[in-house]
Amino acid sequence: MKIAIPVAQGALCLHFGHCEQFVIFDVDADTRKVNGHQAHTPPAHEPGVLPRWLKELGADLVIAGGMGGRAISIFSANGIRVITGAPSEEPERVVQAYLDGALDAGPNACDH
């Protein structure tokens, strides 16, 4: 499984479309352990571009602070699950909390 985290200034970016990078974590779904991760600089943000790009990178899940409804729909159409409302913490901590079943996801931080 591959988990994508939008990152700005070393922490999960609360607004998905404004991140500096995406960190893609390669996770063993059976053991729920991180096997590695890699940072990627995204293409220019335009409607529909990031979901297709992350699909090409193999993402199965995106964990974000906030994301618009249209982007969530496009991710769903590409077979990628989305969790919004994640806290702005180091991406490694966010992924580990998800794997431990302890991710405290609140309301979607995006209002569009």
> Would you write out the chain's pLDDT as a tens digit for each of its 112 residues?
999 999 999 999 988 878 899 999 999 989 999 999 999 999 987 878 899 999 999 999 999 999 988 889 999 999 999 999 999 999 999 999 999 999 988 888 776 5
Any idea what the Cα angle at residue 38 is, between residues 34 and 43, rounded to 5°?
135
For residue 15, the model assigns a pLDDT of 81
Domain boundaries, the chain: 2-78+86-99
In this structure, what is the dihedral angle of CA atoms 110, 99, 32, 48, given to the nearest 10 degrees? 0
For residue 112, the model assigns a pLDDT of 59
User: Which CATH code for domain 2-78+86-99?
Assistant: 3.30.420.130
Separation between Cα atoms, residue 40 and residue 6, nearest integer Å: 10
For residue 33, the model assigns a pLDDT of 94
Tokens 């964990």 label which residue? 63
Encoded tokens for 93: 């901590």
